[in-house]
Amino acid sequence: MPATDCQEASSASFSSLGFSILSRRRDQVHSMESPHEATAQEIELEAFQKLVAERFHELAASNSGELLTIPWTRKLLEVFLCIQEEFRVIVFNKKGFLNKPPMDRYINEFFERSVKGLDVCNAIRDGIEQIRQWQKQLEIILCALDNQRSIGEGQIRRAKKALIDLTIGMLDEKESNTALAHRNRSFGRSNVQRDRKSFGHFRSLSWSVSRSWSAAKQLQALGNNMVAPRPNEVIATNGLNVAVFTMSYVLLFVMWALVAAIPCQDRGLQTHFSVSRQFLWAVPMLSLHERILEESKKRDRKNACGLLKEIHEIEKYARHMNELIDSVQFPVDRRKGG
Amino acid sequence: MEKNLSFSKNGQNLSTPRAFRFEHTFDRYPRSRENIDEEYWNRVQISQDIDQLTHVLSTIDDKSNPPDIPDCVETFSRIVESIIAKYNSGEINRKFGKMTEEDAFFIEAVKRMSKLANAFSEFPSSASTSPVFNRISMVLQRAMAFLEEEFRSLLEDCRDNPQSNYDIFLKNSSFNYKNQDQSDQRETESCDFPAYSLEVVTKMNNIACTMISAGYETECCQVYSVSRRIAFNEQMKRLEFEKINMDDVLKMQWETLEGEISRWIKVVKTCSGSLFPGEKNLGESIFSDHPLICGSLFSNLARAVVIQLLDFAEAVSMAKRSAEKLFKFLDVYETLQDLIPAINDSCSHECEHQLTWEIAAACDRIGESAVSIFCDLENSIKSDVAKSPVPGGAVHPLTRYVMNYLKYACEYKNTLEKIFEKHANLERSLPMSSKLSSSDIEKESESPHNFETVESKTPFSIQVVTVMDLLDTNLESKSKLYRDPSLRYIFLMNNGRYILQKVKGSTEVRQVMGDTWCRRRSTVVRQFHKNYQRETWTRILPCLSHDGLQVNGKVNKSVLKERFKIFSTTFDEIHRTQSTWVVSDEQLQSELRVSITSVVIPAYRSFVGRFKQHLDSGKVDKYVKYQPEDIETLIEGLFDGNPTSMGRRRT
């Protein structure tokens, strides 16, 4: 029982809306099965394809200002959950069918991919936590400078310190150690050894996944062996494995997009995306993929730890603030070594 | 009497008299007394001057006309800066030991600075106020940066230092863990958490209050939360907690996973029992004046840790389901349930709500898996189809397996009741679920002696009854494999009795099944007993009947001989067939023997007594093969599975 919009009754319109392989199969099957039953399941499956396509078109309709912002990412996740819910409904009604070959293998594969996706989500959580740490530094800067009253030199200094901490926090772990040493000298710290230990952990992205975990490898494994079903396979499963394939691809894309947007351990975007345009959702999904990939290649975003627009905003803001603060002259004789 | 800790820092020997101790009058050193006095009174004076200035500046209404700034501001700034310098160079030892007078003065001075800076900030920038304002502002910033480092250093170094473990253990019970047994204290000694001495905590408390009142709350909280997060993580590592990816969890062999689960359970229990309460206490001590702050700090830590722990539980719930995993799953469920109160006590409302929800969700997943595993028992029973019967009519391995499983499962009765209740609610709310369990229930209610007699009709007890029904059905079909009806009844009796004894022997199972069920089952077993008796032994009785032996008042010898012969043959046959049969329950064994004996012996004895004399004296032994006592002995030997020799016995 499809929970999506109501379908048009005429079968002629199906071939324009639906997935062409399914339509082909329907003609073959008509003679074998009771037409009423075959159509009901087919309606459901085609509705699912239509849903996925519609949602992805919505996502792809965002302009470049909206793409990869936090609201857009949230929309991406909502789309994913919505599609997954539909998928769940479809699958749930066919529980008995799923235990037998060949569906059992496809479902098993999907399950394994989902678990890998869960690990990605756990890693992303760490990235979000890291962004929250940056937010704290921004709070300090705001607290120091966003004042109706006079701002003393000390508060400027405080903001500067927070900016440096922020910049270090946004760096790669390897680059941060030298940066830390500079920072400590300018802020008069006595024990550099200690600082490195605590700062390193502070930025650790290994709270939720093991130290050796790699987002790039995980995505690779998630997308491994993902091939569109062949016509004979489709017939053997009454089109159900097409739904599974679609769901798997959506999962892969969403996970990839999350890794692209949010900092995570060993972030890599090389996952290969190629899917036949016969699938209605292929066009918007591949277009989004291309746009995100392009973003990652831009000069000022190549080394970003995450492609979220907000992260870029923070970087730009920090740079701007830094210049602003450095340009402030103080007339009073300052004590050195402060 | 103070301990004078001797430290050497940067080559300086610090056990020489420190110039700034005033709390003990006998501690003054005559040669520097004047210096001390002068310095002390200078400081008191300056502090008062600063306070006065702050007051004046705050109460001026017309901020466009600032007063002249006295020199005390510059002097005061220099004093504060020099103290910071001394701290940084190590001239003043700051880590261990009490808050010194210098420490106390410094803290107060910083607070004064902060108030003064605040007062100054009200004034628009002008040639007279701005330079001074900037000066103070910078000194304050340096002081805050210093305090921030101090705070971090106290948090980190003391946690690594085993010395303070002893301090806290000996001196301080207020930090301790309400839930600790006396017997656990040995263990807490070695892994005290958090292990800060009272003095260090006091220092940290002072620093925190100072930073917060100066508007540096964010820096203060950042240092605290990062440091505590690392500390907590180290503690978990000490408990051998390792972060395992969900993917890897699902690839593990059960034996390995079982071990990880045990380890995880220990970690979670430690968190509930001592780590979280300890952390909460620490937060409350350090941020004593700011309950909201310490609530939010704890909430963030708890959330991060709990979510991490839940990751594992959820991975476990996705593991391939099989019967032997049930009990470990239930252990996980119970451990998670116990985590909830530890969170509730300490978190902010919103966090508590969120975390409780997350824990409940994880419990639900585990619960669903448990339901699935338990219900799989039904499939195991259904698929246990035998081709050949168990020799000797003994208790079937399936019976043992199922009953032991039920017994073990019912030890978790309360948890399982909760889980099945939740599951039933879930099933009801799903519009399209194929309500398997309820249709099964309808089917099973036709079975006469199980469903109706069970007292409690909770979802779990219904499940148990379903299993019991399936077992009965299965046993019944297995019993039909026996061609000999007597053996069939022995089999049914054995298994029925075993089931009954197992139920009666376990309080929890008995509670589920109820006393009525037990009585009914007893009756059923007795019925099998009677059936057996009828099948086997009552067919031997006709030949011991006194009727038909006398013709015209005279005993028919040939009929009599025939009767004796039939009896012996029949008895031999029965004995031969049934001597290998086993009745494992001792009581049942003796009941059987007694009832058989009571049927056979009196009849035989009376027959022999009445008619033996009519046999030819030389031929008695030929026909009277057994004396009544022999029969008795042979019957006594039945049902223990040892075929006894059939040798003749003479009395």
A-B contacts (CB, under 8 Å): 129
Instruction: Closest CB to B121: pick one of A92, A149, A209.
Output: A149
Minimum Cα–Cα distance from B88: chain A residue: A190
Distance from CA of A213 to the nearest CA of B (A): 8
- Residues of chain B with Cβ-Cβ distance to A139 below 8 Å are 218
Which of A:63-92 have CB within 8 Å of B?
89, 92
- Residues of chain B with Cβ-Cβ distance to A150 below 8 Å are 120-125, 130, 133
Q: Are B308 and A208 a contacting pair at CB < 8 A?
A: yes
User: Would you call B395 exposed, middle or buried from its count of C-beta atoms within 10 A (0-12, 13-18, 19+)?
Assistant: buried
Q: Are A207 and B230 a contacting pair at CB < 8 A?
A: no
Among candidate residues A80, A32, A73, the one with its CA nearest the CA of residue A52: A80
Tokens coding B482: 């026996």
Q: Are A188 and B141 a contacting pair at CB < 8 A?
A: no
Distance from CA of A146 to the nearest CA of B (A): 13
Q: Is A198 on the interface with B (CB under 8 A)?
A: yes
CA distance B560 to B615: 8
CA distance A289 to B55: 63
**CB of A120 closer than 8 Å to CB of A219:** yes
Instruction: Closest CB to B145: pick one of A112, A153, A187.
Output: A187
Instruction: Closest CB to B134: pick one of A152, A206, A207.
Output: A152
Instruction: Give the mean pLDDT per block of 10 residues along chain B (651 residues).
Output: 42 43 40 65 86 86 78 88 86 63 87 89 80 90 92 80 42 41 39 74 93 94 92 88 90 94 95 90 92 91 92 94 93 94 78 89 94 91 89 91 94 94 84 48 45 73 90 93 92 94 92 88 93 89 82 81 88 89 90 91 88 78 83 87 52 40
Q: Are B245 and A201 a contacting pair at CB < 8 A?
A: no
Q: Mutual orientation of helices B129-160 and A192-202 as an angle, nearest 10°?
A: 80
Minimum Cα–Cα distance from B219: chain A residue: A140
Q: Mutual orientation of helices B628-636 and B586-611 as an angle, nearest 10°?
A: 170
- Residues of chain B with Cβ-Cβ distance to A114 below 8 Å are none
Q: Are A152 and B133 a contacting pair at CB < 8 A?
A: yes
For tokens 């062999």, the residue is B253
Distance from CA of A26 to the nearest CA of B (A): 26
Minimum Cα–Cα distance from B316: chain A residue: A115
Distance from CA of A63 to the nearest CA of B (A): 35
Q: Which of A109, A137, A158 best tests the B interface by mutation, with the highest count of B CBs <10 A?
A: A158
Among candidate residues A210, A205, A215, A211, the one with its CA nearest the CA of residue A116: A215
Q: Is A143 on the interface with B (CB under 8 A)?
A: yes
Q: Are A207 and B304 a contacting pair at CB < 8 A?
A: yes
Minimum Cα–Cα distance from B90: chain A residue: A190
Residues in chain B: 651
- Residue B458 sits at the vertex; the CA angle it makes with B455 and B464, to the nearest 5 degrees, is 80
- Range ranked top by mean pLDDT from A5-14, A27-36, B127-136, B615-624: B127-136
Instruction: Closest CB to A119: pick one of B137, B245, B304.
Output: B245
- Residues of chain B with Cβ-Cβ distance to A190 below 8 Å are 88, 149
Distance from CA of A257 to the nearest CA of B (A): 20
**CB of B450 closer than 8 Å to CB of B512:** no
Minimum Cα–Cα distance from A212: chain B residue: B245
Instruction: Closest CB to B141: pick one of A92, A157, A206.
Output: A157
- Residues of chain B with Cβ-Cβ distance to A93 below 8 Å are 432
Phi/psi region, residue B215 (left: phi>0; alpha: psi -120 to 50; beta: rest), is left
Q: Are A136 and B153 a contacting pair at CB < 8 A?
A: no
* pLDDT, mean of residues A259-280: 89
User: Can you give B596-642 as a three-state secondary structure string?
Assistant: HHHHHHHHHHHHHHHHHHHCCHHHHHHHCCCCHHHHHHHHHCCCECC
- Residues of chain B with Cβ-Cβ distance to A122 below 8 Å are 245-246, 311
- Residues of chain B with Cβ-Cβ distance to A146 below 8 Å are none
DSSP for B122-180? TSPP-TTHHHHHHHHHHHHHHHHHHHHHHHHHHHHHHHH-THHHHHHHHH-STTS-TT-
Total Cβ atoms within 10 A of residue B68: 5
Minimum Cα–Cα distance from B89: chain A residue: A190
Distance from CA of B2 to the nearest CA of A (A): 28
Rounded to two decimals, the ipTM of the complex is: 0.81
Tokens coding B345: 């006590």
Higher pLDDT, B40 or A309: A309
Minimum Cα–Cα distance from A202: chain B residue: B226
pLDDT averaged over chain A?
A: 80
Distance from CA of A89 to the nearest CA of B (A): 9
Tokens coding B574: 């029965």
CA distance B278 to A165: 30
- Residues of chain A with Cβ-Cβ distance to B247 below 8 Å are 112, 115-116, 119, 218
Please report, in angstroms and rounded to a whole number, the separation of the first and last CA atoms in chain A: 71
**CB of B596 closer than 8 Å to CB of B537:** yes
Minimum Cα–Cα distance from B113: chain A residue: A154
CA distance A102 to A226: 16
CA distance A292 to A305: 14
Q: Is A96 on the interface with B (CB under 8 A)?
A: no
Which of A:249-278 have CB within 8 Å of B?
none
Minimum Cα–Cα distance from B221: chain A residue: A136
For residue B582, report the phi and psi dihedrals to the nearest 5 degrees.
-120, 140
For tokens 């803001």, the residue is A317
Check residue B273 and report its DSSP letter.
Answer: I
**Cis before A102 (ω within 30):** yes
Q: Is A20 on the interface with B (CB under 8 A)?
A: no
Lowest mean pLDDT, pick from A224-238, A243-257, B147-161, B625-639: B147-161
Q: Are A161 and B145 a contacting pair at CB < 8 A?
A: yes
What is the pLDDT, as a whole number, of residue B410?
A: 94
**CB of B555 closer than 8 Å to CB of B621:** no
Distance from CA of A233 to the nearest CA of B (A): 27
**CB of B43 closer than 8 Å to CB of B20:** no
Q: Is A202 on the interface with B (CB under 8 A)?
A: yes
Distance from CA of A136 to the nearest CA of B (A): 7
What stretches of A35-145 show up as alpha helix (H) in DSSP? 35-60, 70-92, 95-98, 103-145
For tokens 């989902």, the residue is A114
